[in-house]
Structure 1
């Protein structure tokens, strides 16, 4: 079977349709105040990452100090990474696991009783690749109440994961996820629907 060959774009110096990396690097992507906060947060990160595992209250306090809205009894594990935490909101009883990355160039809202598992990546930042200067875009991410983003999953810019939804391990989510669905794969697709057991059946009450 013959492979389709896509036309290759011209990329050469002086070509007006070439990607202009110099212009991208010289562009002001952040206000001065935000740049200062980024430096201060970089200095504070070791206080977060080197704290003992049970010190959840300390890590909640540290994120709040930098403008994050963090609810009650939220478990933030020490190797979890937050970029620009002042754009982050996390509801009560949620958890962000080991080595998870919350890349909050834009707003990231995590609901209540949500689990963000180890090495999951919430990416609220991208570039307009149709513009030669590749300007920075910051579409928000919303993770609904009682959702679960499993290990190594990627949630892309502008995505809303509905209440109770499950993003399977290593799934790549680039479109909104309907409430109480289970999505898997790359790109992620619905594979089943989630139903909680009643408390009388030994599961979590709905």
Structure 2
């Protein structure tokens, strides 16, 4: 076993590589996120959206942002009109996350754009995520960097979307993820 290497994490590069803002902005955002976005007692979706916009998020009209949500870096988040962000959704967006219009991200879904070079130095590696118009990421899904969920596609509960492109109008789920049907018309099973 002694010939299996261990990476010295004290030498891992990039602790703040994804910040893209001065430290004081990141820390101020952390306080505002806690008070106005993540806070389960703060019931105003409109206030959450205003605070996110104040920190650079591009959020369209009529977006519903439920309590207990988290956004790592609002300046790397874009959401189109009339989309619904469910309670407990976490955007761990060290890279850009683009959510289209009329899209739904349901309760406790986790969208993350970052990982690490696990074979060498544990440096941060990021890839953007795109969730297109009308797509529905159902509850407790995990969407990893490099993933694209096509127009009006549906991801079934508890699914890991591991950097794949889900075609428009299809239903995907399972482990490993695979096509389960179509969302509209013949062939749909939901």
TM-score normalized by structure 2?
Answer: 0.88
Number of paired residues?
A: 183
Provide the C-alpha distance between the structure 2 equivalents of 1:125 and 1:27, rounded to a whole number of angstroms: 12
The SS at the match of 1:33 is: coil
> Does the C-alpha gap of structure 1 residues 21 and 149 become closer, same or farther in structure 2, counting only changes over 3 Å?
same
Shift of 1:56: 1.6
Partner of 1:114: 103
Q: Which residue of 1 aligns with 2:90?
A: 101
**In 2, distance between residues paired with 1:23 and 1:10?**
18
Matches within 5 A, 1:68-147: 68-131=57-120, 133-147=121-135
Once residues 104 and 87 of structure 1 are traced to their aligned partners in structure 2, the CA distance between those partners, rounded to angstroms, is 7
Q: Give the Cα separation in 1 of the matches to 2:48 and 2:185.
A: 31
1:10 equivalent to 2:21? Answer no
Mapped partners of 2:157, 2:60: distance in 1: 26
In structure 1, distance between residues paired with 2:149 and 2:2: 35
* Residue in structure 2 matched with residue 19 of structure 1 by the alignment: 7
Q: CA deviation at 1:57?
A: 1.4
The unaligned stretches of length 5 or more in structure 1 are 1-6, 12-17, 198-206
Aligned position for 1:180: 169
> Against the structure 1 CA distance between its residues 8 and 69, is the aligned structure 2 distance closer, same or farther, given a 3 Å change threshold?
farther
What is the CA–CA distance in structure 1 between the aligned matches of 2:111 and 2:179, rounded to whole Å? 19
Quote the offset at 1:170 in angstroms. 0.2
CA drift of 1:32 comes to 7.5
2-side partners of 1:75 and 1:167: how far apart? 20
Change (3 A) 1:43 1:168: same
TM-score where L is the length of structure 1: 0.82
Structure 2 match to 1:52: 42
Contact 1:154–1:171 (Cα < 8 Å) also in 2: yes
C-alpha distance 78-24 of structure 1, shift in aligned 2 (>3 A): same
Paired residue secondary structure (1:42): helix
Give 1:47 shift. Answer: 2.3
Task: Name which of 125, 143, 149 aligns with 1:161.
Answer: 149
8 Å CA contact retained: 2:18, 2:95: no
Q: In structure 1, what is the Cα distance between the partners aligned to 2:143 and 2:10?
A: 29
Q: Which structure 2 segments of 5+ residues have no match?
A: none
CA-based RMSD of the aligned residues comes to 2.1
